[in-house]
Structure 1
Amino acid sequence: MPPRKGRGRRGAAEPEDRVHHIERILEGLVQVVHDVHNNNNHDEAPQQPAMPMPGARAMPRTTIKQFQHLKPPTFYGTPDPMAAESWLLGIERVFEVLPCTDEQKVIFATFMFEGAALIWWQLKKPLEPLWLWPRFLEVFNEEYFPEMVRDQKIQEFLNLKQGNMIVVVYNIKFMELSRYAPHIVSTESRKARRFEAGLRWNIKNKVEILRLPTHQEVLRAALIAEESLNEMSQFRENQKKRIGGNMSRGQSSK
């Protein structure tokens, strides 16, 4: 029996139909993937701006004009270590009330350099890519307030005695020199004992038996003891004058 022509034509068309069918399936899959991707993008919550961490502080934006408004001291590069330290204390006092980063502190402080100090800084500045305040203090002190001078101040503090000074003046000197030896007065108790040890003997005898725990309490007791001794001395002086006067009148009446 001869083959049917109709079946032959249908068999030849089947592969082509299958290809079109597969292409339509693939197109459908691509569309599904595209729709899913779009839906996911639409469903995503809009990104919120990053919130600062609790307790975090914004970076200060202090200007040179604000810095100058506080009248910071000028440093001329004097070889006197005490003058250099005095300038540094003045600058740090400004920074206590003016919010600055460690980098800003260096920029602002060196802005106040003049003369020899400015020349020194122009030579030092290029040696490091970034200057921060702790490193600047280290280099500045090496140049203008060397370790040898600091050691001398520590020794001066260790040898400090009240001597002929009144208590108020002795305390001022004590506080001034104690800055160079924080390890010696690291607690209130140690500070009190060191201050007490330098008092004049007639004041020290009245204060040390109290074993007061803080420097301020020892200072207050020393001031009271000093006042008491002064009153006693004045009383004795008046007594001598009175006795001397009586004796003079007695002799003149004879």
Structure 2
Amino acid sequence: MGQGLDQRLLMTNERFRRMHPDDFHGTTDPFVTEGWIRSLEEIFRYMDMADAVRVRCTIYLLKGDTSLWWEGAERGANMATLTWEEFKRVFYDKYFTYDVRSRLKREFMSLRQGDWSVAEFLQKFDRGCHFVPLIANDAVEKLQHFLDGLKSIIRHDVMLSDPTDYTTAVAKVFRAEQSHKDIDWELERKKNRAQQANHSNKKPYAGPPN
């Protein structure tokens, strides 16, 4: 029975390695840390892994200073009952602290487009949603928070179409941005043509009168 279980674990570990998960050497960038965990969870869901195997595979990927950190952290954990969510709490306490998560939540709640392009704003909005599930998981709240953060001129155009969901609003925002770019380009083209025409109509200076 024990040998059979060990064999299944070995096969699972081999399948996991064939998915080419990245090692973790530590970082001060919370998005890198969060991205690494999410990439592992995608593999875990695909392989339908149990909690104990998830923890075992993740520990295998801890390298360098992170491996040394875990040696100390492991002493305070019951490896026989440690769940994946419990492991993440221990891991985040080191590499994605509560203070950092709180700061990211506050930044998301006051997020405004400002001088960013729609693509830049959307990237920051989608990232922020991950840290504020109360908004991200409520379709109405998510749509309203997204619209509130847009530039007023973009938001005005999008609101005219009365979008009913976030996905539709995103598509309309990109179209509104492109429309304003087209208008700005046309105005600049007309301005340049007017300047050129004005310059060509000027008579060349012939010197002082005799």
Q: TM-score range by the shorter chain?
A: 0.7 to 0.9
Cα distance change of structure 1 residues 235 and 131 upon mapping to structure 2, 3 Å threshold: same
- Runs (4+) of structure 1 moved beyond 6 Å? none
* 3-state SS in 2 of match to 1:183: helix
Distance 2:47 2:187 in 1: 55
Letter in 2 for 1:156: E
Aligned counterpart for 2:187 among listed residues 218, 229, 236: 236
> Pairwise mapping of residues 68-217 of structure 1 onto structure 2 (< 5 A)?
68-127=17-76, 128=78, 129-217=80-168
Letter in 1 for 2:54: K
Distance 1:253 1:80 in 2: 62
Deviations 1:42-89 (A, max 9, x none): xxxxxxxxxxxxxxxxxx865211111111111123444333223212
Contact kept, 8 Å, 1:188 with 1:213, in 2: the verdict is no
Contact kept, 8 Å, 1:163 with 1:200, in 2: the verdict is yes
Contact kept, 8 Å, 1:185 with 1:194, in 2: the verdict is no
- The total of aligned residue pairs comes to 195
Over the aligned positions, Cα root-mean-square deviation in angstroms equals 2.0
Contact kept, 8 Å, 1:154 with 1:180, in 2: the verdict is yes
Displacement of 1:123: 2.3
Displacement of 1:124: 2.6
Distance 2:63 2:180 in 1: 51
Cα distance change of structure 1 residues 234 and 77 upon mapping to structure 2, 3 Å threshold: closer
Contact kept, 8 Å, 1:157 with 1:178, in 2: the verdict is yes
TM-score, with normalisation over the residues of structure 1? Answer: 0.71
Distance 1:218 1:81 in 2: 28
* 3-state SS in 1 of match to 2:136: coil
Cα distance change of structure 1 residues 233 and 77 upon mapping to structure 2, 3 Å threshold: closer
* 3-state SS in 1 of match to 2:141: helix
Q: Give the percent of matched residue pairs that are identical in Structure 1 and Structure 2.
A: 24
TM-score, with normalisation over the residues of structure 2? Answer: 0.85
Question: Bigger radius of gyration, 1 or 2?
Answer: 1
Contact kept, 8 Å, 2:158 with 2:173, in 1: the verdict is yes
Distance 2:146 2:190 in 1: 34
Letter in 2 for 1:70: M
